[in-house]
C-alpha cells in the first residue's frame, strides 16, 4: 500500500515538473518571438524623381518592436513652401498608434513650389515616441516643371464676327514651365456648324520661356442668330493642357438687315392690297 502511494506521488511529481517545463518553454518561445520583431522606420524607395508640378510619393513601414502599444508623432523638416501629407489606409494623419509587434504602412506625399530649382533635396522624416525617435532620410530629385499657357497677344478673350463670314484670331502658346514641351496639338469646341482651322495646328517642340503664334480662322454659318456665343480653344501635350475661352458676339450683315426690311415691307404691302381689294365685298 505504501509502495503504491509512493509510486502515485512520484507520477504526480513528474507530471508537475513536465507541466512546469512546458509552460517555461512556451513563455520563453513567446518572449523570443516578441523580441524577434525590431522597432524600425523604413521606406521601399528613399529617392524619388519628379517635376515640380507632380507629387513625390514614398511608401514607408513603421514597425513597433516594443512589448506594448506605442504612439508615434510624424514630423518632417521641409524647405520653405514645401508641403507634406502622411496617409494611413488612405486617411491623412499626423500621428498614429502601432500595436506591439505590428507594422503600419505610411504613405508620405510631398509637394514643392512650381518655381523650385532643379536639384536633389534632403527630406528628413521622424517618427517620435516617448521611447525613442526613428529617422528616415528621404531624397526628392526635382527635375523642373511642365506648364503651358494659351492666351491672346493682348489678353483680351472676346471679339465680334458677322454671320456668314470668317474671322482670323491670333492666339499665343507659351511654355511657362522649366522643361521642354513636345508634340503640342490645338483643337476647339464650337457651337453647332461653326468651323475653325489652325495655322499651325501642332507644334513639334517649345522650349522653356518660348512662345508660338497661332492663327485661328473662325467661320460662322450664314443663318446664325445674332447674340453672344462661347468658343473654347485648347492646346494639349503629354505633359500639360491649357484652354482659352473666347466669347464671340455674332452680328447680322447690313445686307441681311435690308433684305429683312424689304420682305417685311412687301408683306405689309400685300396685306394692305388684299384688304383694299377684298375688304369692300
Residues 153, 131: Cα–Cα separation, whole Å: 62
CB atoms within 10 A of CB 235: 27
Determine the pLDDT at residue 95.
Answer: 96
In Å, how far are 38, 99, 137 from 41, measured between CA atoms?
10, 14, 10
Determine the pLDDT at residue 254.
Answer: 56
| Average model confidence (pLDDT) across the chain | 85
CATH number of 148-254: 2.60.40.10
Fold of 40-142: Immunoglobulin-like (2.60.40)
Residues 150, 235: Cα–Cα separation, whole Å: 7
pLDDT band at 9 (very low <50, low <70, confident <90, very high): low
User: Do 40-142 and 148-254 have matching folds?
Assistant: yes
Residue 268's region, left for phi above 0, alpha for psi from -120 to 50, else beta, is alpha
Residues 139, 148: Cα–Cα separation, whole Å: 27
Whether pLDDT at 65 is above 70: yes
The pLDDT tens digits of the residues spanning 232-249 come to: 999 999 888 999 999 999
Share of the chain above pLDDT 70, in %: 78
The pLDDT tens digits of the residues spanning 29-51 come to: 444 444 568 999 999 999 999 98
Determine the pLDDT at residue 271.
Answer: 73
Determine the pLDDT at residue 13.
Answer: 55
Indicate the domain borders of the chain. 40-142, 148-254
Q: What is the DSSP string of 177-216?
A: SSS-EEEEEEEEE-STT-EEEEESSEEEEE-TT-EEEEEE
Take residue 160 and report the three cell numbers written for it.
Answer: 465680334
Residues 26, 139: Cα–Cα separation, whole Å: 45
Determine the pLDDT at residue 277.
Answer: 65
First-to-final CA distance of the chain = 152
Take residue 120 and report the three cell numbers written for it.
Answer: 536633389
Determine the pLDDT at residue 172.
Answer: 97
The pLDDT tens digits of the residues spanning 184-218 come to: 999 999 999 999 999 999 999 999 999 999 999 99
Share of the chain above pLDDT 90, in %: 66
CA dihedral 202, 204, 206, 211 (to 10 degrees): -40
The pLDDT tens digits of the residues spanning 182-193 come to: 999 999 999 999
pLDDT band at 253 (very low <50, low <70, confident <90, very high): low
Amino acid at each position: 500500500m505504501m509502495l503504491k502511494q509512493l509510486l502515485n506521488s512520484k507520477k504526480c511529481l513528474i507530471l508537475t515538473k513536465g507541466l512546469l517545463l512546458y509552460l517555461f518553454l512556451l513563455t520563453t518561445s513567446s518572449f523570443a518571438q516578441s523580441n524577434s520583431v525590431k522597432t524600425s522606420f523604413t521606406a521601399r524607395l528613399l529617392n524619388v524623381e519628379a517635376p515640380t508640378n507632380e507629387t513625390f510619393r514614398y511608401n514607408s513601414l513603421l514597425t513597433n518592436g516594443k512589448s506594448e502599444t506605442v504612439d508615434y508623432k510624424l514630423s518632417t523638416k521641409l524647405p520653405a513652401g514645401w508641403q507634406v501629407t502622411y496617409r494611413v489606409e488612405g486617411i491623412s494623419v499626423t500621428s498614429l498608434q502601432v500595436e506591439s509587434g505590428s507594422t503600419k504602412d505610411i504613405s508620405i506625399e510631398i509637394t514643392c513650389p512650381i518655381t523650385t530649382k532643379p536639384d536633389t533635396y534632403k527630406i528628413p522624416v521622424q517618427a517620435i515616441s516617448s521611447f525613442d525617435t526613428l529617422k528616415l532620410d528621404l531624397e526628392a530629385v526635382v527635375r523642373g516643371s511642365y506648364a503651358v499657357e494659351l492666351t491672346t497677344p493682348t489678353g483680351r478673350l472676346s471679339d465680334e464676327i458677322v454671320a456668314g463670314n470668317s474671322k482670323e484670331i491670333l492666339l499665343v502658346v507659351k511654355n511657362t514651365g522649366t522643361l521642354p514641351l513636345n508634340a503640342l496639338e490645338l483643337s476647339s469646341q464650337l457651337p453647332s456648324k461653326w468651323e475653325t482651322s489652325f495655322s499651325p495646328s501642332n507644334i513639334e517642340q517649345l522650349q522653356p520661356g518660348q512662345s508660338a503664334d497661332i492663327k485661328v480662322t473662325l467661320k460662322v454659318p450664314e443663318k446664325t442668330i445674332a447674340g453672344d456665343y462661347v468658343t473654347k480653344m485648347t492646346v494639349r501635350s503629354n505633359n500639360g493642357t491649357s484652354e482659352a475661352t473666347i466669347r464671340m458676339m455674332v452680328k447680322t450683315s447690313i445686307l441681311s438687315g435690308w433684305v429683312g426690311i424689304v420682305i417685311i415691307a412687301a408683306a405689309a404691302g400685300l396685306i394692305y392690297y388684299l384688304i383694299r381689294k377684298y375688304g369692300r365685298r
